[in-house]
Amino acid sequence: MSFAVVNPSTEQVIRSIELASAEEADAAIAKAHEAWPAWRELAPGRRAELLRAFADEVDADLENLARLEVANSGHTIGNARGEAGNVRDVLRYYAAAPERLCGKQIPVAGGLDVTFHEPLGVVGVIVPWNFPMPVAGWGFAPALAAGNTVVLKPAENTPLTALRLAELAERAGIPSGVFTVLPGLGDVVGQRFVDNPVVRKVVFTGSTRTGKRVMAGAANSIKRVTLELGGKNSNIVFADADLDRAAAAAPYGVFDNAGQDCCARSNILVERPVYERFLERMEPVVRGFAVGDPARESTEMGPLISAAHREKVRGYVDGAPVAYTGSAPQGPGFWFPPTVLAPIAADHPAVTEEVFGPVVSVLPFDTEAEAVGLANNTEYGLSGSIWTRDLARGIRVSRGVRAGNLSVNSHSAVRYHTPFGGFGQSGIGRELGPDAAEEFTETKNVFISTEE
């Protein structure tokens, strides 16, 4: 079975990709399992060297990878270069892990007690279409570093950069079977990662609905899971904030990647005395947002991923109160303009659900407690921002909002050297940061008697 990969900016087919069957997925998993002992037993320094060589190949291919992502996913060329660079950096960061996966020596009576971080075996990484390169790297780099082998399924509509990464791994000398990319359908290949007991961990990024299925399926073989699911994130702007900075930054906190970002700050909560002023100051930024050909260096936002997804996004805006919009090209391509909804009821679906498009709702609030309550009025808990000049309030509110990743006076992007993940139905586990390689290991405790 084949799949026609479409350029979302032009609606043209760019390549036809063979989708793996369930049997092919099982064969790839078996091959990864065969490759595991040799990879696990490789000297830590050698595994590190191979990961650095992989990073060098990614670096040398950076422009090609970026252009592939522009064509396949409609990401702006600037973002796509950053995403390819992120894969390189994540590989380099975790290349240091094989030699630093230190256990502990724990004081005990009558002997020596030490812990080891043992790799799990085959790890399945399931990647969504919104960030094909970074999300792949966040899974495979620490998993490989910790001595696991990896099978990776890109989203069916965005497989091109993952397939290229597999070629680059091979070129870097990563042994056959250690890192395998399998384009295929979620309920065929993804489901085999969940159901095949040889896979010992699944790293899944995507919708909460599918994440629940993955977790339920993983329970059958007590398979480890890391889940990075949806988000409904608030950008809280207090009256004492630098309003110009907050208003200039807010659109970038939600419209980046056309809003197809689980961290998108798609609710802006503004303290009532500055509500109107904030909307006024944000308007020129939204109207001036450069939406168009993602290959152009100056473009700030490309198209949505597909016609079906555009219809889903449109559903949130139809009948909703639109304060103002930016522009979007006419003609072919899955375009949608940056859209600001205000004034809007707190129970409108655009306010309560993950829109995953360039749509932001702006709501007023009166007290700090009300702002925190509004931000927490969601089953998700992934990210958010707080704008204030009051440091104590910045700390108080960032402790009060139930989410895994918060920023004060910025909409900081995910950093590969800090942990990333969600509270509540935004997921389970943390990716990235100094401890991610350990998430791909089991701790083994060994007691050695020193009695004569």
Q: With CB under 6 A as the contact rule, which of the stretches 137-145, 171-179, 190-198, 270-278 interacts with ligand NDP?
A: 190-198
Closest-CA residue to 269 (of 244, 246, 245, 301)? 246
Closest to ligand NDP by CB, 98 or 128: 128
Q: What DSSP line would sit under 257-281, residue for residue?
A: GGG--TT---EEEEEGGGHHHHHHH
Check 57, 69, 156, 262 and give the catalytic one.
262
Smallest separation (angstroms) from ligand NDP to the CB of 130: 5
**What does the block give as tokens for 148?**
């696991």
Smallest separation (angstroms) from ligand NDP to the CB of 341: 17
* Known catalytic membership, residue 439: no
Our finding on whether 57 is near ligand NDP (CB under 6 A) is: no
* Known catalytic membership, residue 228: yes
Buried b / exposed e across 13-52, counting CB within 10 Å, b at 16+? Answer: eebebebbbbebbbebbebbbebbeebbebeeeebbbbbe
Closest to ligand NDP by CB, 71 or 313: 313
Our finding on whether 229 is near ligand NDP (CB under 6 A) is: yes
Tell which positions 337-376 bind ligand NDP, by CB under 6 A.
354, 356
Smallest separation (angstroms) from ligand NDP to the CB of 86: 15
Smallest separation (angstroms) from ligand NDP to the CB of 320: 17
Count of residues that bind ligand NDP according to CB under 6 A: 26
Check 228, 271, 300, 439 and give the catalytic one.
228
Q: Give the CA count within 13 Å in the CB-facing half-sphere of 110.
A: 4
User: Is 226 in a helix, a strand, or coil?
Assistant: strand
> Cα–Cα–Cα angle for 179, 184, 186, nearest 5°?
105
Closest to ligand NDP by CB, 216 or 448: 216
What's 376's DSSP letter?
T
Residue with smallest beta-carbon separation from ligand NDP: 186
Within 8 A by CB and 6+ apart from 282, the residues are 247, 248, 250, 251, 340, 362
CA atoms of 316 and 398, how far apart (whole Å)? 28
Closest to ligand NDP by CB, 155 or 269: 155
User: Among residues 120, 214, 247, 363, which is the contact residue for ligand NDP, using CB under 6 A?
Assistant: 214
Count CB atoms within 10 A of the CB of residue 73: 30
Q: Length of the chain, please?
A: 452
Our finding on whether 384 is near ligand NDP (CB under 6 A) is: no
Tell which positions 130-189 bind ligand NDP, by CB under 6 A.
130, 153, 155-156, 185-187
**One character per residue 114-133, x = contact with ligand NDP (rule: CB under 6 A):** ------------xxxxx---
How far is CA 263 from each of CA 185, 260, 361, 442, rounded to the nearest angstrom?
25, 9, 15, 30
Smallest separation (angstroms) from ligand NDP to the CB of 19: 8
Tell which positions 254-313 bind ligand NDP, by CB under 6 A.
262
Count CB atoms within 10 A of the CB of residue 199: 25
Closest to ligand NDP by CB, 230 or 424: 230
Q: With CB under 6 A as the contact rule, which of the stretches 53-61, 209-217, 285-293, 393-401 interacts with ligand NDP?
A: 209-217
User: Among residues 9, 76, 86, 191, which is the contact residue for ligand NDP, using CB under 6 A?
Assistant: 191
Closest-CA residue to 351 (of 335, 340, 338)? 340
**What does the block give as tokens for 290?**
């450069």
Could you tell me the strand order of the sheet in which 383-387 lies? 322-325, 339-341, 359-365, 267-271, 234-237, 383-387, 405-408
Closest to ligand NDP by CB, 132 or 326: 132
Q: CA 391: distance to chain centroid?
A: 29
Smallest separation (angstroms) from ligand NDP to the CB of 194: 5
User: Letter for the amino acid at 357?
Assistant: G
Q: Which residues are marked as active site?
A: 228, 262
Binding interface with ligand NDP (CB under 6 A):
126-130, 153, 155-156, 185-187, 190-191, 194, 205-207, 210, 213-214, 228-230, 262, 354, 356
